[in-house]
A and B are shown apart, each in its own frame.
Chain A
């Protein structure tokens, strides 16, 4: 390898190459030929596959716009004869959870209160761990990493009681901080894998140059690694937002009723064992609950792809 240049020069070179990468990538590997036979095939396949992916969404949306009598007729695919937004209103503000009838809105802010610290905390811990593992690893560090990776394969439910006992001993059971800690812990395996691979893919010269310049552990992380890794942070955020926002089990076990997240209400609306199932309200409630992660996907879609590219490719 060539002698490491000064820190500044390497950084600039990196920026240049990344800039080139991203602009190239919009063009793709081949020049465009509109309506060639190949393109028709290509779009044909994509559209057919899209139909398979969209079918359940279509069923959910039309069902959520029907009244119950129409649903009982059993025509799953038929468009609503009479469009009603009643189920959406009901799911948001009237559906009952036991004796509290204020719909999903009851848990929305609780979910936000759980989501924000959990996402920040888990990403902060995992990114630093991934950075330390890839750049500063010592003999044995990968043994711990392997143990951590094993954690990705344990069904969460098996860990419920040991975690209850741990939290109790730490005096955190039933508190929001306890729940944040649990989300951080269970997000670790996949997130550390993601960050570790990403940081390991960055050029070593960069790191060496920084060391020569006398930069320390945190300096390198905050001044060099973090700014270069915005995309992977977005990827991690998307994974965590989806997972934590949709979590029911931890939310209901490790908090108290006044802090229950929205998914507890979703479960209560959807999962009542006895009595009539209001399918239209169920569908509306699910779509409403999914809006937050969907918005995150949509807003950060572009960064998502670029992020994993750099992390997974060379890891």
Chain B
């Protein structure tokens, strides 16, 4: 906690007037730091500590139990020469890109539609949000059925007489990630829609009035005025979506198990399968260290821009 005390000696509000003049302030400012102790402890001990622990053990040959038997860079060598890992990263890049765009676009569009002052808004909102509440162990199975070539969508459409119709994403290695995306969007867009809808509700009514007076089309108002105003909403949504994408695991296990073959493997699944399937903790930790590294590479510049660039009141 020494770090916190040192760093915290000049809170920017307190800095405006000298704290020493009023004794009560001396009592108040420590309180604000004490209140942050749990968060700082959690950030340092659990998240930073856990990360360091993971990275340290990624240089060992730990199997079923964590052990400090050094193995140098062996785990990383092996990681990068394993095809499954390479495939996992490619899949995550594809899925992540498509899911990020898809979730934002669908989430925003649905929110905009609901914001057009419609009837039964509550009903529609509940319909879009309910998948968030259901455990994916089983909803993954339902999507497996719906996408099953024999008795799912393909079978139904063929039953209508369109014999050549083909839609079998889960058994085709080339498009299996899109099959996962269909279910992933189904589960995840509701929450983002709610956040977007909330953001839209916060837009000042006068903006709409002004754009109407100026005769700007609705869609143009959204793109030119509303979306730029909603930057913070998009940031919040982005963090939520991105953390979900990096941790993508349950969906894959429930729907494809990584198949056909290894064509729908993802990094989080690689980590889990190395740690608990192969009983090779070192390998799992090496993989998760690589994942963390890439998150840090993205997060640090963002945090710098977000916190370093401006002072807010």
Query: Which residues of A are in contact with B by a Cβ distance under 8 Å?
Result: 21, 24-25, 27-30, 32, 42-43, 45-46, 49-50, 52-57, 59-60, 63, 74-77, 125-126, 128-129, 131-133, 135-159, 161-163, 166, 185, 188-190, 192-194, 197, 200, 204, 211, 214, 216-218, 242, 246, 263, 266-267, 270-271, 279, 282-283, 285-287, 289-290, 293-294, 297-298, 301-302, 304-315
The closest CB in chain A to the CB of B249 belongs to A155
Main secondary structure of the interface of A (DSSP, over half): helix
Q: Which residues of B have CB within 8 Å of A32?
A: 117
Within 8 A of A (CB), among B128-152: 128-135, 137-139, 141-143, 145-146, 148, 150-152
Q: Which 4 A-B pairs have the closest CB atoms?
A: A28-B117, A140-B7, A136-B32, A313-B202
Inter-subunit contact A152/B239 (CB<8 Å)? yes
- With A28-B116, A28-B117, A308-B195 known as contacts, the answer to whether A74 contacts B122 (CB < 8 A) is no
Among A43, A161, A197, which residue has the most Cβ atoms of chain B within 10 A? A161
Are B130 and A294 closer than 8 Å at their CB atoms?
A: yes
State A34–B233 Cα separation when bound (angstroms).
Answer: 31
B83 is an interface residue with CB less than 8 A from chain A: no
In-complex Cβ contact of B137 among A141, A145, A271 (8 A): A271
Can you list 11 A-B pairs with a CB-CB distance of less than 8 A? A30-B117, A53-B130, A75-B151, A132-B36, A155-B246, A162-B50, A166-B49, A267-B137, A306-B198, A309-B198, A313-B199
For B230, the closest partner residue in chain A by CB is: A313
Question: Are B201 and A158 in touch, CB under 8 angstroms?
Answer: no
Is there a chain A Cβ closer than 8 Å to B105's Cβ? no
Asked if B39 is at the interface of the complex by the 8 Å CB criterion, the answer is yes
B161 lies within 8 A of chain A by Cβ: no
Q: Is the beta-carbon distance between A129 and B39 smaller than 8 angstroms? A: yes
User: A190's closest neighbor in chain B, by CB?
Assistant: B240
Chain B 33-49 interface mask (CB, 8 Å, partner A; 1/0): 10110111011111111
Whether, in the assembled complex, B10 has its beta carbon less than 8 Å from a beta carbon of chain A, the answer is yes
Stretch from B72-80, B93-101, B169-177, B267-275 at the A interface: B267-275
- Asked if B295 is an interface residue, CB under 8 A from chain A, the answer is yes
- Determine how close the nearest CB of chain A comes to the CB of B306; give it in whole angstroms: 8
Contact with B125, one of A139, A185, A301 (Cβ below 8 angstroms): A301
Other-chain residue from A29, A74, A270 in contact with B151 (beta carbon distance below 8 A): A74
Query: Is A137 a contact of B230 with CB atoms below 8 Å?
Result: no
Kindly provide the distance from the CB of B3 to the nearest chain A CB, expressed in whole angstroms.
Answer: 7
Chain B residues with CB under 8 A of A305: 125, 194, 197-198, 201
Q: Which of A46, A129, A286 contacts B113 (CB 8 A)?
A: A46
In the complex, which of the residues B116, B139, B190 contacts A286, with contact meaning CB atoms closer than 8 Å? B139
- Determine whether the beta carbon of A315 is less than 8 Å from that of B236: yes
Q: Are B11 and A138 in contact, with the CB atoms below 8 A?
A: yes
A129 to B42, CA, bound (A): 11
Binary contact readout B1-14 vs A (1 if CB under 8 angstroms, 0 otherwise):
00110011111110
> Does chain A have a CB within 8 A of B127?
yes
Q: Pick the contact of B143 from A29, A56, A137, A149 — CB < 8 Å?
A: A56
Which of B84-92, B256-264, B296-304 makes up part of the contact surface?
B296-304
Contact of A49 with B110 at beta-carbon distance under 8 Å, contacts A132-B32, A154-B50, A217-B31 already known: yes
CA distance A77 to B285 in the complex (A): 43
Asked if residues A30 and B4 are in contact (CB atoms below 8 Å), the reply is: no
Let me know if B194 and A308 touch, CB within 8 A: yes
In the complex, the answer to whether B139 meets A155 with C-beta atoms within 8 Å is no
Knowing A59-B145, A140-B8, A151-B47, the reply to whether A188 touches B39 (Cβ < 8 A) is: yes
Which of A49, A55, A282 touches B146 (beta carbons < 8 Å)? A55
Given contacts A74-B150, A147-B43, contact A136 B201 (CB under 8 A): no
The docked-state distance in angstroms from the alpha carbon of A4 to that of B126 is 41
Q: Given A159-B46, A266-B137, is A59 in contact with B116 using a C-beta cutoff of 8 Å?
A: no
Q: Is the CB of B198 within 8 A of A77?
A: no
**Contact status B303-A200, CB under 8 Å:** no
Q: Would you call B124 an interface residue if the criterion is a C-beta within 8 Å of the partner chain's C-beta atoms?
A: yes
- Residues from chain B with Cβ under 8 Å of A313 in the complex: 198-199, 202-203, 230, 232-233
In the assembled complex, the CB of A94 is this many whole angstroms from the nearest CB of chain B, namely: 18
Q: Are B126 and A301 in contact (CB under 8 A)?
A: yes
Q: Is the CB of B43 within 8 A of A151?
A: yes
How far, in Å, is B191 (CB) from chain A's closest CB? Answer: 8
The CB with the most chain B CB atoms within 10 A, among A28, A279, A313, is that of: A313
B contact residues around A263 at 8 Å (CB):
135
Contact between chains at A56 and B131 (CB < 8 Å): yes
Most interface-central of A30, A49, A144, A218 (chain B CB within 10 A): A144
The reply to whether B186 and A154 form a contact with Cβ atoms under 8 Å apart is no
How far apart sit A304 and B129, CA to CA, in the bound complex (Å)? 11
The 8 Å CB contact of A283, one of B38, B138, B300, is: B138
Known A56-B146, A270-B138, A282-B138: A242·B28 in contact at CB below 8 Å: no
- Which residue of A has the minimal Cβ distance to B115? A28
Residues of A within 8 Å of B235, CB to CB, are 315
State how many angstroms separate the Cβ of A274 from the closest Cβ of chain B.
Answer: 16
Option from A29, A301, A312 in Cβ contact (under 8 Å) with B199: A312
Query: Across the interface, which residues of A come within 8 angstroms of B292, CB to CB?
Result: 150, 153-154
